[in-house]
Amino acid sequence: MFLDEVTLQIAGGTGGSGCVSFRREKYVAKGGPNGGDGGRGGSVFFVADAGENTLLRYRVRRVHRAESGRHGEGNHRTGKSGADLELTVPVGTQVLDQDGVHLLGDLDVHGARLEGAKGGRGGQGNARFTSSTRQAPRFAQKGEPGEERSVQLQLKLVADIGLVGFPNAGKSTLISRISAAKPEIADYPFTTLVPHLGVIDAGNFRSFVVADIPGLIEGAHEGRGLGDRFLRHVERCSALVFLVDVSELAEHGPVEALEILEREVRSYDEDLALRPRIVVASKVDVKKNDEAIEVLRSAAASRSVPFAVISAVRGDGLGKLLELMSALAFDRERKADADHA
């Protein structure tokens, strides 16, 4: 089961209270205050872990509280601090405030940490309050409560290339042929209900990640069909592959289908529409339509974008498509290396 959005209640631990204590020792004529401070409460941290790929672990348990600090003790002994609570999340998780609008942090690399709720400060013991005019204070501070808040976790998959297309355009079959991903494949719309990631071995110890996004329909950016809930999973992709069904069974003409897909992506995010892309004529093994292929080829040429013709079932054209995809994926790496140089 895939879960990419969840609301959690998190709270830092309460700080321990300071201690009221006086020195009591045989043969010591005058004792004095020796109450220790309370320990701080633990904080709640979100930690990105590449071994996680869903927020499913938080489906049932929605309240998470860090450990409270121990109270101070006599003889100036400070209470033990509460342990921090680390909540592991998949790489690509965004933490937002309760309203789902204000971004608190974006955990987009393995090991990234974000403090979600700070632990409370421990109270001071009575030894802290002595003075020349107050030599035997009989009071101490209470520990402060930790921060408490509701947060939304939203997962945006981290992939190099996103596959975009109408339902039954052949995206799942394609990713199953070029990677070890095993999405459900069937001859009906919306077979893919959750995104899938596939790692592509490009040789020479290099690889890149492809995301199979559930099929889009017209109006997806407004929430129709599976809507923008899954469009967000292509936000981090450096390039997009538009799969267009060119068989005689296709619901839309090739150019119309391409324009609808481009419009939905642009309506969702203008920046996303500017990413490099490849136009692919798919399902050429199903009642091949040569005219539709050439019309789509011309549309790709007018946009100055690479074009490929494939049959994911038979494997036709997959070698060329992988070369095009590799070029886009590794071009991103080269640009990133140049930026850091």
Q: Do 178 and 228 fall within a single domain?
A: yes
Q: How far apart are CA 119 and CA 41, in angstroms?
A: 4
pLDDT of residue 293: 92
Q: Do 141 and 184 fall within a single domain?
A: no
Task: Return the H-helix or E-strand segment holding 312.
Answer: none
pLDDT of residue 97: 92
**Residue pointed to by tokens 């489906």:** 59
At position 163, the amino acid (one-letter code) is L
pLDDT of residue 341: 47
Give the single-character DSSP code of 271. Answer: H
Q: Do 184 and 286 fall within a single domain?
A: yes
Q: Do 130 and 198 fall within a single domain?
A: no
Q: Do 274 and 318 fall within a single domain?
A: yes
Could you tell me if 211 and 162 are in contact, meaning their C-beta atoms sit under 8 angstroms apart?
yes
Please give the sequence-ordered ranges of beta strands (E in DSSP) within the chain, or none if there are none: 5-11, 44-49, 63-65, 85-90, 93-97, 103-107, 113-117, 148-155, 161-165, 196-203, 206-212, 239-245, 277-282, 307-309
Q: Do 172 and 123 fall within a single domain?
A: no
Q: Do 109 and 240 fall within a single domain?
A: no
pLDDT of residue 223: 52
Could you tell me if 261 and 217 are in contact, meaning their C-beta atoms sit under 8 angstroms apart?
no
Q: How many domains is the chain partitioned into structurally? A: 2
pLDDT of residue 218: 62
What are phi and psi for residue 71, nearest 5 degrees? -70, 155
Task: Return the H-helix or E-strand segment holding 35.
Answer: none
Q: Do 64 and 209 fall within a single domain?
A: no
Residue 158's Cβ-count burial label (10 Å; 0-12, 13-18, 19+) is buried
Distance of CA 42 to the CA centre of its chain: 24
Could you tell me if 85 and 42 are in contact, meaning their C-beta atoms sit under 8 angstroms apart?
yes
Distance spanning both ends of the chain, measured CA to CA: 41
pLDDT of residue 190: 44
Residues in the chain: 341
- Spell out a b/e string for 197-221, using b for 16 or more CB atoms within 10 Å of the CB, else e: bbebebeeeeebbbbbbbbbbbebb
Q: Do 311 and 253 fall within a single domain?
A: yes
Which residues, at least 6 apart from 108, have a Cβ–Cβ distance to it below 8 Å?
48, 91, 92, 158, 236
Closest CA relative to residue 10, chosen from 105, 109, 115, 94: 115
Q: What is the side-by-side strand order in the sheet with 196-203?
A: 196-203, 206-212, 161-165, 239-245, 277-282, 307-309
Q: Do 300 and 208 fall within a single domain?
A: yes
Q: Do 134 and 183 fall within a single domain?
A: no
Q: CATH no. for residue 252?
A: 3.40.50.300
Mark which of 102, 126, 155 sits at the end of a domain.
155
Mark which of 155, 177, 196 sits at the end of a domain.
155
3-state secondary structure of 146: coil
pLDDT of residue 79: 96
Could you tell me if 170 and 245 are in contact, meaning their C-beta atoms sit under 8 angstroms apart?
yes
Mark which of 120, 155, 190 sits at the end of a domain.
155
Q: Do 168 and 126 fall within a single domain?
A: no
Range of the domain at 114: 1-155
3-state secondary structure of 328: helix
Tell me the mean pLDDT per 10 residues along the chain, length 341: 82 97 78 92 95 86 96 95 96 89 91 96 95 90 96 86 85 85 51 69 79 67 53 82 87 89 87 91 84 94 94 90 89 56 47
